[in-house]
Structure 1
Amino acid sequence: MFNINNILRENIKNLKPYSSARDEFKGEASVYLDANENAFGSPLNKDYNRYPDPLQYAVKMRLSEIKGVPARNIFLGNGSDEAIDILFRSFCNPGADNVILVPPTYGMYEVSANINDIAVKRVNLTEEYQLNLEGIAEAIDKNTKLIFICSPNNPTGNSINREDIETLLANFNGLVVVDEAYINYSRQKSFIQELTEYANLVVLQTLSKAWGLAALRVGMAFASEEIIAVMNKVKPPYNINEASQQLALEALQNVEQVNGWIKETLTERDNLVLKLKEFEFVVDIYPSDANFILVKTTDARGIYNYLVEHGIIVRDRSKVELCEGALRITIGTPQENITLINTLTNFK
């Protein structure tokens, strides 16, 4: 049975977190002389001279309404990358512990592991881009603390079988981290509804994709209160700046607009797939539950360079394991997609 104290690093158990001025005082006051801020304001149209809410309460309350998850089960980070890094720093002992990754997958998991001196065990996805459960079971040892699963997966675009993820959650005594950066485009339901069922589940989401707020760097982690408390303990005091908090809160009022963009993206995805299949140099287009498609071609590098020459940038994934010859293409606006197709018509 999962017990957080069995995988939490000893130094984190004993860590006394930094107590900021805004941690020590709750509520409103007329005079703030506690945080050594510039009392005269800031040289901008809006005053940013005061430190932001360290726990982003207003944003979490709005997210709670949208996601159906209590605010106490939400962590906000400087992008999902900060949440990933904090999980390594909280639960993995450098030079001793290991994590399991399932390539091809999001590259920051391995980068973060390397930065934190954590060994990586790779268990490749199957040819159908699904989990190799037997291989994962064989790779787990007493020092395996985290398993990262991206679903829908980047760069392949497909969702991972839900039953396979549940099998890991039920049988692994470390954390299973399900990265749902592209969940808004998926037919699968989010795993955040399963938080009460699995104490070892961490779900990552972001405002960078469907919500169109990549520049603000606001990532989310959903987990048990115990895990969220650890993450809040380890994070920097003011990890989400005031401008990002205010703009995120404003954006989160526009659910209908975002839902409209999602529907249009899915329609454009279907149209783009049909158009691309007409080209002889397209070998295969893999099923996608994301806002991008993985396209297997006869000459990935040649097509990539050709598109660059014409001012169109896609992602060459041809050197990634199990993605040989493939380009990852984000779904653009209708006009951007037309421009892509028209440009490719002249590729030889």
Structure 2
Amino acid sequence: MSNEIDQQQLYSGPDGNSPFRGLGGLLRQNIKNLTPYSSARDEFQGEASVFLDANENAYGSPLVQAYNRYPDPMQYQVKMRLSQIKGVPARNIFLGNGSDEAIDILFRSFCNPGVDNVIIVPPTYGMYEVSANINDVKLKRVLLTEEYQLNLEGIAEAIDANTKLIFICSPNNPTGNSINRDDIETLLANFNGIVVVDEAYINYSRQKTFIQELTEYANLVVLQTLSKAWGLAGLRMGMAFASEEIIEVMNKVKPPYNINEASQTLALQALANIEQVNTWIKETLQQRDNLVLTLKDMAFVLDIYPSDANFILVKTTDANSIYNFLVERGIIVRNRSKVELCEGCLRITIGTPQENDKLIETLQQYNA
């Protein structure tokens, strides 16, 4: 199917002649009227030595590191370090308890329950659907093409006056491929709503990040995370990059202390070790190439899809049988065989050389 579409097909506004015009018509009325919680730390400027404002335990914590004080509600130091790394002003950065919090806040800010809808493009990350269901927001599914790319014509047909968000995961989970950049820009330029580009795996990709396009598209939200390449999944810190106006809305809706002090402190330490992370990325990509070459020779492997992530999607003759065979031997992969367009597929994360060797040895036993 051709991706050549009329620009007007994507536009959901009232007059049919201009794209995104700002958040005025997108925000829920109750969010427009919301007065955010004002924490004790929000109510003064400058430095202080005595804090008697937040009903904290002044004596400390029963730990080596003291955690008796509430953390910075806006995570200033972490955002400043991310600003240096990402090349984007701190005011354009939101930090959440994982990217999942950012996803949920977008639903709560822009989607009226029982009225509005969002579009996802399966197969894709499952939390978009979960968040939609939690927030009672209708979900419209437009399947990717057989090449795992956007069906722009199908998206255009799905958009209506109540479509607020479109979620695009690139590189995509579980398929691993990057979504065609021109297609995403077509949506950004013509959709009268917010386009969310989830870049959880961007550090492994050959494509450049969409963060560089924030000044070009006021309706763009880019999600990233410290859980993957940065190896901080246990800290739960996700990032959203967007216009200052959108970030202000997200900060207004979030809980006052959504990122704890330990996570902020450890994240700052990790962000000082870019060279280590880059080394791991290079090693992961080499291991991915090695694993693909080895798996291609196994009789049960029908296809291995191109990947820009730290995992591969492998089409097999019997995904359930292989999955159970591996589980019985203490190796866990992800069975995606029941996901649309992923029939017969296993998603395999790239491990250490030792873990990958064990996987290969075990699969060779199955192959035999």
The alignment's TM-score, normalised by the length of structure 1, stands at: 0.99
Structure 1 portions without partners, runs of 5+:
none
Q: Find the aligned partners of 2:126 and 2:310 in 1 and give their Cα distance.
A: 18
Residue of structure 2 equivalent to 1:132 = 151
Match of 2:340 among 321, 331, 338: 321
Question: C-alpha displacement at 1:81, in angstroms?
Answer: 0.1
Amino acid across the alignment from 1:13: K
Q: Find the aligned partners of 1:118 and 1:150 in 2 and give their Cα distance.
A: 19
Amino acid across the alignment from 1:314: V
SS of residue in 1 equivalent to 2:325: helix
Question: C-alpha displacement at 1:28, in angstroms?
Answer: 2.3
Residue of structure 2 equivalent to 1:236 = 255
SS of residue in 2 equivalent to 1:345: helix
Q: Find the aligned partners of 2:291 and 2:74 in 1 and give their Cα distance.
A: 41
Residue of structure 1 equivalent to 2:3 = none
Amino acid across the alignment from 1:229: E
Residue of structure 2 equivalent to 1:84 = 103
Q: Find the aligned partners of 1:45 and 1:153 in 2 and give their Cα distance.
A: 42
- Is the counterpart of residue 294 in structure 1 residue 327 in structure 2? no
- Deviation track 1:241-296 (CA, whole Å, cap 9, x = no partner) reads 00000000000000000000000000000000001111100000000000000000
- Deviation track 1:60-85 (CA, whole Å, cap 9, x = no partner) reads 00000000000000000000000000
- After the TM superposition, which of the residue ranges 128-137 and 26-35 deviates more from structure 2? 26-35
Q: Find the aligned partners of 1:322 and 1:25 in 2 and give their Cα distance.
A: 54
Q: Find the aligned partners of 1:139 and 1:235 in 2 and give their Cα distance.
A: 30
Question: C-alpha displacement at 1:29, in angstroms?
Answer: 1.0
- Deviation track 1:143-187 (CA, whole Å, cap 9, x = no partner) reads 000000000000000000000000000000100000000000000
Residue of structure 2 equivalent to 1:117 = 136
Match of 1:18 among 23, 37, 41: 37
Question: C-alpha displacement at 1:335, in angstroms?
Answer: 0.7
Taking every aligned residue pair, what percent have the same amino acid on both sides? 84
Question: C-alpha displacement at 1:24, in angstroms?
Answer: 1.0
Residue of structure 2 equivalent to 1:30 = 49
Residue of structure 2 equivalent to 1:53 = 72
Q: Find the aligned partners of 2:176 and 2:200 in 1 and give their Cα distance.
A: 11
Question: C-alpha displacement at 1:33, in angstroms?
Answer: 0.1
- Deviation track 1:305-324 (CA, whole Å, cap 9, x = no partner) reads 00001100000000000000
Residue of structure 2 equivalent to 1:93 = 112
Q: Find the aligned partners of 2:110 and 2:364 in 1 and give their Cα distance.
A: 51
Match of 1:280 among 299, 310, 316: 299
Amino acid across the alignment from 1:10: Q
Residue of structure 1 equivalent to 2:213 = 194
Residue of structure 1 equivalent to 2:237 = 218
Question: C-alpha displacement at 1:26, in angstroms?
Answer: 3.1
Match of 1:304 among 282, 305, 323: 323
Q: Find the aligned partners of 2:58 and 2:37 in 1 and give their Cα distance.
A: 23
Number of aligned positions between the proteins: 348
SS of residue in 1 equivalent to 2:24: helix
| 1:147-186 mapped onto 2 (5 Å cutoff) | 147-186=166-205
Q: Find the aligned partners of 1:245 and 1:26 in 2 and give their Cα distance.
A: 21
SS of residue in 2 equivalent to 1:346: helix
- Deviation track 1:193-223 (CA, whole Å, cap 9, x = no partner) reads 0000000000000000000000000000000
Amino acid across the alignment from 1:169: L
Amino acid across the alignment from 2:88: V
Question: C-alpha displacement at 1:27, in angstroms?
Answer: 3.0
Q: Find the aligned partners of 1:201 and 1:181 in 2 and give their Cα distance.
A: 16
Residue of structure 2 equivalent to 1:67 = 86
Query: RMSD of aligned C-alpha atoms?
Result: 0.5
Question: C-alpha displacement at 1:23, in angstroms?
Answer: 1.0
SS of residue in 2 equivalent to 1:327: strand
Q: Find the aligned partners of 1:38 and 1:173 in 2 and give their Cα distance.
A: 49
SS of residue in 1 equivalent to 2:288: helix
Q: Find the aligned partners of 1:190 and 1:251 in 2 and give their Cα distance.
A: 21
Residue of structure 1 equivalent to 2:15 = none
Q: Find the aligned partners of 2:237 and 2:42 in 1 and give their Cα distance.
A: 21
The alignment's TM-score, normalised by the length of structure 2, stands at: 0.94
Amino acid across the alignment from 1:124: L
Structure 2 portions without partners, runs of 5+:
1-18
